[in-house]
Each structure stands twice: as C-alpha cells, then as structure tokens.
Amino acid sequence: MPGAELNTELADRIRAETGENVFSCYQCIKCSSGCPLANHFDLTPNQVMRAAQLGLDQVALEAKTPWLCVGCETCTTRCPNGIDVARVMDFLALESQARGITPGVPEVALFSEIFLRNVNLLGRTYELGLMAEMNLRSGRPLKDLAMGLEMIRKRKIKLLPEYVRRPKDVRATPKKPNQVGYYPGCSLHSLAAEYDSTVHAVAKTLDLELIEPPGWVCCGSSPAHRVAPRLAMQLPLTNLALIEQTGMDEVAVPCAACFSRLKTAQHEAARNPTLKAEMEAEIGHTSRREIDVRTLVDMLVDRVGLEAIGAKVTRPLAGLKVACFYGCLMMRPPAVTGAEQPEYPMVLDRLVAALGATTLDWGHKTSCCGASLSVTKTEIALELSRKIIDDACAVGADVIAVACPLCHTNLDDRQPQMSLAADGDASAGRVPVLYFTQLMALAFGLGDKSAALAKNMVDPRPVLVKRGVLD
C-alpha cells in the first residue's frame, strides 16, 4: 500500500544484538556469488539480507539458509561495506528458535543440541558419542559405521569420553624463552591424535616447549556461536584465562576452528568492554594482558623461522608435489584473524617449501570443506570436499597438506566415501591428505612411525615411497 510504513523490527533487532546494519547492504551479491553453499540454500545470503531490510521477518526466519550456513566467513570477508553477514546468519538462527519457529534444517539444530550438552556435561567434545547419537536420532544409525570401525581400528577415536573441569588454582611458572602456550582443542585428543603427536615431535626437534594449560575446555565450535552466543564467548575466554594463569603470553592453536573461536572472543571483548567485564565476572578471572593467539603454522614460522626449520631437515621432500590447503578459518575474516592475504595465503606454502617439497598453485586452497556439515549434511560436505580433491588432482598434487583436524576429517577420513580410485594414486582421483606436521616429521628424519602415517585413512606411504621420501 502506498505510504505504508516499513517494518524494521527485525532489522532493528539485528543491529541491537550484533551491531550489524542490514540497510548497509546494497545488493552487490558478492556474498552470494562467493558462497560455497549458495546452490543448497532456499534463499541466497543477499536475499536473506533483503528480506530483513523489507521487514519480511517470517521469510528470513523460516529460511534454511541461516541453519545451513557453515560459517566459512567468505561473505563477511568480501562484503564491500564490512557487514558481518555470517554473524547475521547466526542471529537469525537464534532468533528463529526464540520465536518458536521450527529450524530450517532440523539436523543442524539437533547437532547443536547434542554437541553443547556434551560440552556442558563433560567439558570437551565426545566425538564418538556425538556421531553415534546424531546418526541414531536422525534415523541413519549405520551411516558412518564403516568409517567409524576403521577409525577404531586405527586408534583414531576414543571409545570413552574425557571429563574435565577448570582447576580452581593454576600456578604460573617462570617462563623460559623457548616456551609457548599450546591449546590443542578436542579433536587432537581423539580423531586427530596423529596431529597432536607430530606437533609434539616437531616441537621437540625445534627445541620448542609447548605448555598445555590444565583443565582446558572445548572452544564451543560452530554450535555455540550459532545458538549460544554467551557460551561462545565464555568458553574461549576461559581457555585464555587458563593460558594467562600458566604464565604464557602467547598460544599456538593447531585447529583452525579453535583459532577462530579464540580470536573472535578476543575481538568481541575488545569491541564490547561491558560484555568483557560480564564474562570475566562469570569466569572469575580478570585478564591483565591479552594473549597473542596464533595458528600453529604462524607460530612456527614467526617464532622459529623458516631458515631454522630448514636447517633441521635431514631428508628433504624433494620431488614431492604438495597442494597446501588452508581452509576457511585460518585466514578469514581478516578483521579478526589479522591475515594479510586471506584469499590466497602463502605462509604454509613457504613452510612446506622449506622442507624441500614443491608447492603448487591451485584454486581451492581457501575453499570450504563443509566443516561440521560432515555430521549433519554429509552429502554436502562430500560434494564440497570432492571439489577440493579433484582440483588437487588436476594440478598434479602428490599429497594435500592441511593444518586443521576438521579439514582432515572431511578430506581424508571421508575420502573413501567419495567413490574415488586407488589409494595413493592422485592421477586416478584419490590423493593422500597429511597434516603439515606429518610432513615436517618426515623431513626431519623422524621416520614414518613418528609421522603416524598408519593413522591416515588414505595411505600416503605408496606415493611417498614413489617420490623417494620413504624407503
């Protein structure tokens, strides 16, 4: 009706709760054109923003898009007006629940419920229980049985959960020059045990002592920032408080998702001093300094140096062609991570090159692997991961190097589900996926056992023998 007043209730709520002004969106469609999941949404990201602008509350809140959004931060990184589109998606999912609207993707809501219940009860994620309950309650109890049995055979997954609570008293020790804090995150104590063991082996070779804070808890991952925003702040700030109490002023984080949650919590605390004070009161710790949170890759390159890393190489990876995969959250969004090259980073490439390998230029190094959709919408995660595998094969990669346990799960653990060809033969469509620390262990001459190669679902040893990296 001419002259009708625009309903801005939803837009006002978004701005009040997130600080994001949806009216700043002028429909350039960069968010949608770059979104890896756009063809799976019922509304593209720009259409969700338009619905919020026009006061079409039900359209925005009943959409699948906010629930199916994987939080890869591509939209936020590329928005020319600096709108945190991913944060708006999180708010819409939370708001739809608050209004009693059935989630657009019930599996994602169920996953969040199970995940956060585990974290609240145990302190950390119980991955076997999470996957088993998720598959059972979603009506597909046998979906991951073959993969799970193989993981158990390879001792990649814990049968029993860990139970942790933050200690009441953490004593700081005088910090030595070679010490850094180390926050492994839940997966490195379970599915990504080979990552954790090779991190420690590499650190020892480089005379770097990793100080793991006692009683650390889960970072909250995707479920917390989607449906429990205060918990998404509290959990990372709890871990940062523990790191500070150990006497460390910097922390290496091997998991990209954990890195993202810790950096985001710091970013939000800096933007909102009132919220920071509330969180510190809940945690029972007032921060006296800001911890320098860095990815493990950056920590090794900046703290140890490429020259020193290269000096430890006793068996160069000469002849091995490596596609370095960064995934989403190591670099994005740069306003949070501080990354100078969020779209085409090179730091991992330089590190792998220092080991003697040949690194490759390719188009999917910061693509999304599907992240936690691996559990909720496995077919989508397989589709996204398959594109990454295919691109690595197309450029002639012998192996893919990763620096995130969730990326490794989707690219390696689930690769047998992609109906690809023989193990270790990239030309046939299947390519081994290794943690970069596994490559470092090999280059340092620590051997295939120390590199934990037997734990990889796609056996990398045939191609490594073929390239002369292994005997």
Cα angle vertex 176, ends 174, 181, to 5°?
90
pLDDT at res. 317 = 98
Mean pLDDT, residues 168-173 taken together: 80
Nearest to 282 by CA among 216, 243, 223, 233: 233
Query: For 179-226, how does the pLDDT look when each residue is reduced to its tens digit (9 = 90+)?
Result: 999 999 999 998 999 999 999 999 999 999 999 999 999 999 989 999
- The stretches of 35-105 forming alpha helices (DSSP H) are 45-53, 57-61, 65-68, 74-78, 85-98
Residue, of 338 and 172, whose pLDDT is higher: 338
pLDDT at res. 280 = 94
Ordered strands of the 179-182 beta sheet:
209-211, 179-182, 250-253, 292-295
pLDDT at res. 1 = 45
Is residue 406 scored above 80 in pLDDT? yes
Mean pLDDT, residues 103-111 taken together: 95
pLDDT at res. 3 = 52
Structure tokens at 335: 């306003």
DSSP H or E segment with residue 391: helix 378-394
Crossing angle between the packed helical segments 85-98 and 9-18, to the nearest 10 degrees: 110
Is residue 465 scored above 50 in pLDDT? yes
CA dihedral (305, 306, 310, 311) positive or negative: negative
Query: For 275-304, how does the pLDDT look when each residue is reduced to its tens digit (9 = 90+)?
Result: 999 999 999 999 888 999 999 999 999 999
Nearest to 92 by CA among 127, 120, 64, 132: 64
Q: What is the mean pLDDT of the chain?
A: 93
Query: For 227-283, how does the pLDDT look when each residue is reduced to its tens digit (9 = 90+)?
Result: 999 999 999 999 999 999 999 999 999 999 999 999 999 999 999 999 999 999 999
pLDDT at res. 156 = 87
Nearest to 185 by CA among 375, 377, 409: 409
pLDDT at res. 178 = 95
Query: For 365-401, how does the pLDDT look when each residue is reduced to its tens digit (9 = 90+)?
Result: 999 999 889 999 999 999 999 999 999 999 999 999 9
Q: What structural domains and CATH numbers belong to the chain?
A: 9-98 (1.10.1060.10), 106-153 (no CATH), 179-297 (1.20.1050.140), 305-466 (3.40.50.11810)
Residue 205 main-chain phi, psi, to 5 deg:
-65, -35
Residue 75 main-chain phi, psi, to 5 deg:
-60, -45
Q: What is the pTM of this model?
A: 0.94
pLDDT at res. 424 = 44
pLDDT at res. 2 = 54
Query: For 23-56, how does the pLDDT look when each residue is reduced to its tens digit (9 = 90+)?
Result: 999 999 999 999 999 999 999 999 999 999 999 9
pLDDT at res. 426 = 43
